[in-house]
Amino acid sequence: MITWRTTARAFKPYILTSWVAIIHASCINTKEHRTVQFSSASTVKYSTHIKPILDKHCIECHGIAGTESGLDLRTLESILEGGESGPSIIKNNPNESLLLNLIEDQLMPPEGEMLRKKQINTIRMWLRSGASA
């Protein structure tokens, strides 16, 4: 005999599939999704994406109140010039970029709020794609 139970069982896989599809579709326009797409593009720019992060978290000690370790993080030129340890970024080479290494190792900023994963990822993408202005 066909009851609602057997019918439901028979349709279960389809119901699950369409549920997943619906959830996925509703995610596409969320901010999270856009960020992932954005981060994989090579359009990350210093002026639009990187400077605001450094201005908020770094320049107090590297530009305004002083230039710790001789490093001024207020302009792209001074970032490239670097501080006592030499250039703080290496274009196309995030892994060799001191600025990113210190952020990822949670050594910078030494106090206050650490950078969020999304911001760190943006910096990595920027360096990987050639650190454009």
Q: Which residues bind ligand HEC (CB under 6 A)?
A: 57-58, 60-62, 68-69, 71, 82-85, 88, 98-99, 102-103, 108-111, 115
Residue type, 63: G
Closer by beta carbon to ligand HEC, 32 or else 105: 105
Q: Which two tokens stand for residue 119?
A: 């911001």
Closer by beta carbon to ligand HEC, 115 or else 131: 115
Residue type, 50: I
Closer by beta carbon to ligand HEC, 60 or else 129: 60
Closer by beta carbon to ligand HEC, 32 or else 84: 84
Q: Which of 77, 33, 73 is nearest to 54 (CA)?
A: 73
31-39 and 117-128 helices, crossing angle to 10°: 30
- Give yes or no for a contact between 46 and 132, defined as CB atoms under 8 angstroms apart: yes
Write down the least CB distance from residue 9 to ligand HEC, Å: 55
- Give yes or no for a contact between 35 and 118, defined as CB atoms under 8 angstroms apart: yes
Write down the least CB distance from residue 58 to ligand HEC, Å: 3
Write down the least CB distance from residue 45 to ligand HEC, Å: 17
